[in-house]
Chain A
């Protein structure tokens, strides 16, 4: 089955830019989607497709992709961006199974 690999933890100074990455073979066929999850809350979609934000997601969130790596960039991180971030895609082998990355804990200093 396909796997998506994320760094377990990343930190960023308030107002600075941070990039969270996700690697996996499926990302050569599928765009990653990105979810933000705060403690005790359900995940929220923040980026999907090439670089699309759902309504209500601030434009400081952006996405990119190259080869087998997808990235979520937060430009000008805010305190409220401190959360867990998960990437997701579908297995590209034809199994139609879903897969999530292990998650990245973002700390805003």
Chain B
């Protein structure tokens, strides 16, 4: 059974770096694409980007966030990570990690609320 679990600080100061991890279990992290998605309070869903570890690996980011986002991973720990630089209040959201397969997101973590505040 595929399971994903986000972890990281729930509060980040304005202008600092948001860092989250997603632990994957029940499947090899090397086989699929893994994404981060966020949802601002009371708003819709926004795809942030994905990482793929097989072969030489690859990443792809939402152009609106590309300049501030890095997604990477540690396959030995079956984890992948998200970093968002220079955060503002607009980055306050529930952050989800999810598996991307055949064009959609079939397994999701429970989500973690990250609040950006000075």
Q: A and B from one assembly?
A: no
Binding site for A on B (CB under 8 A): none
